[in-house]
């Protein structure tokens, strides 16, 4: 062994160890970048626009073909989770539901399990690529920053302006409607409602007696990070986590604002797979027995939870396989997303509706 080789063999591991433990973020690939509007650089927005324009339009999928859906399980070790057999039961229910309500044939096949922080860290470089640095940095609201709290208020204000007064009013409890009687007071109402719920969700206890939204875990619960990650995923078509998406961004619709930032599931573009899209699903809002969720969602009989999560997955597969847009006016069908966290009520209405599985002509999307 010559001295040069020996140097590398003996010292290289130390050099790598030092590099990986210093907070020298630029060289530390494992650190998930904490992006904000300040992270966005000149040209990033253009890079995102170009990226988006170049995504091919969604092609219709074939109902006679069986599509294999590669499933990745992503685990937050601090939170309750299902057993492998419960997951298997879920996959079989989803397959049946997709056939019954959408007419597509799928086969769900687990391809791996990952710990959530290291899973996100494996996308650290992706998050720093110009299109995704823009996508996340420009839209994610970091509520520890005063400027972003101002942007949250603006988001709420413009969302209220977009919706009809009747729709907005439906989200205000009856006993508050009299006092919330001007536009400014309505913005205040939703702003306070959002922050109160958002903070309460974040404080939810974990097994480690740490808060749910703690340190690096905050990023793993952000819609914008999930969105960027799903666009870049190569190893799976469907990700399911026992965690939650309860973030803040400047594109939140009123029903997400009203539940403190919770998104149960999402479907994103993906240029790497045959389906041209990926689904991300969260379990925590369905299975948590913490007070906030018991109040907002109500309790769901244990034997029903798998069926309800499966129905939520059918809704997402409507986006992914049928290419359907989001619907608000198809009550009693899986095409409508559940209102608030009232999953059980939503599920029962679908079961009771004899027309739920009769396909209606639905509008399709060119891109997600």
Closer to Zn ion by CB, 200 or 326: give it.
Answer: 326
Closer to Zn ion by CB, 218 or 237: give it.
Answer: 237
Q: How far is the CB of 275 from Zn ion (least distance, A)?
A: 16
Closer to Zn ion by CB, 90 or 337: give it.
Answer: 337
Residue 301 in 3-state DSSP? coil
Closer to Zn ion by CB, 191 or 327: give it.
Answer: 327
Q: How far is the CB of 121 from Zn ion (least distance, A)?
A: 28
Closer to Zn ion by CB, 132 or 368: give it.
Answer: 368
Would you give the distance in Å from CA 160 to the centre of its chain? 23
Stretch that binds Zn ion, among 101-109, 127-135, 141-149, 320-328 (CB under 5 A): 320-328
CA–CA distance, 144 with 160 (Å, rounded to integer) = 24
Footprint (CB under 5 A) of Zn ion, residues 327-346: 337
In terms of DSSP H, where are the helices of the chain?
3-21, 44-53, 84-97, 116-121, 124-127, 130-139, 146-162, 165-170, 183-203, 223-232, 254-258, 284-287, 291-297, 302-320, 343-352
Task: Kindly give the interhelix angle for 302-320 and 343-352, rounded to the nearest 10 degrees.
Answer: 80
Q: How far is the CB of 93 from Zn ion (least distance, A)?
A: 19
Q: How far is the CB of 315 from Zn ion (least distance, A)?
A: 6
Closer to Zn ion by CB, 180 or 230: give it.
Answer: 230
The encoded tokens of residue 279 equal 């689904």
Closest Cα to residue 72, out of 191, 304, 240, 199?
Answer: 240
Give the x/- contact pattern for Zn ion in 84-123, rule: CB under 5 A. Answer: ----------------------------------------
Q: How far is the CB of 322 from Zn ion (least distance, A)?
A: 11
Burial of residue 279 (number of CB atoms within 10 Å: 0-12, 13-18, 19+): buried
* Rg for the chain, CA atoms, rounded: 22
Q: Is 362 in the site for Zn ion (CB under 5 A)?
A: no
Q: Which of 36, 326, 357, 362 binds Zn ion (CB under 5 A)?
A: 326
CA–CA distance, 46 with 57 (Å, rounded to integer) = 20
Would you give the distance in Å from CA 145 to the centre of its chain? 22
- What residues line the site for Zn ion (CB under 5 A)? 326, 337
């Amino acid at each position: 062994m010559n001295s040069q080789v020996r140097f590398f063999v003996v010292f290289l591991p130390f050099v790598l160890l030092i590099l990986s433990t210093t907070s020298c973020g630029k060289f530390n690939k494992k650190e998930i970048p904490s992006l904000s509007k300040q992270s966005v650089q000149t040209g990033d927005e253009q890079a995102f626009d170009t990226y988006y324009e170049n995504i091919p339009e969604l092609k219709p999928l074939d109902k006679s073909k069986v599509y294999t859906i590669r499933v990745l399980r992503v685990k937050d070790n601090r939170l309750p989770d299902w057993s492998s057999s419960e997951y298997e039961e879920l996959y079989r229910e989803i397959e049946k539901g997709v056939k019954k309500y959408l007419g597509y044939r799928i086969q769900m096949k687990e391809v791996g399990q990952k710990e959530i922080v290291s899973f996100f860290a494996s996308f650290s470089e992706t998050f720093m690529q110009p299109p995704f640095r823009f996508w996340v940095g420009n839209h994610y609201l970091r509520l520890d920053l005063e400027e972003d709290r101002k942007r949250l208020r603006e988001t709420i204000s413009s969302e209220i302006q977009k919706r009809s007064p009747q729709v907005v009013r439906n989200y205000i409890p009856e006993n508050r409607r009299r006092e919330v009687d001007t536009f400014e007071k309505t913005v205040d109402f939703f702003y306070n409602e959002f922050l109160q719920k958002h903070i309460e969700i974040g404080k939810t206890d974990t097994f480690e007696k740490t808060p749910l939204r703690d340190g690096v875990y905050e990023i793993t619960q952000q819609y914008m990070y999930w969105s960027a990650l799903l666009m870049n995923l190569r190893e799976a078509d469907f990700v399911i986590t026992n965690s939650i998406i309860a973030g803040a961004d400047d594109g939140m619709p009123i029903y997400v604002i009203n539940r403190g930032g919770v998104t149960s599931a999402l479907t994103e573009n993906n240029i790497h797979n045959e389906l041209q899209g990926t689904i991300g699903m969260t379990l925590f809002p369905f299975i948590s027995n913490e007070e906030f969720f018991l109040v907002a969602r109500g309790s769901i009989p244990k034997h029903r939870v798998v069926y309800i999560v499966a129905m939520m997955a059918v809704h997402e597969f409507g986006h992914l396989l049928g290419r359907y847009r989001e619907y608000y006016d198809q009550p009693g069908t899986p095409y409508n997303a559940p209102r608030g966290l009232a999953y059980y009520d939503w599920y029962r209405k679908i079961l009771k509706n004899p027309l739920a599985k009769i396909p209606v002509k639905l509008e399709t999307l060119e891109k997600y």
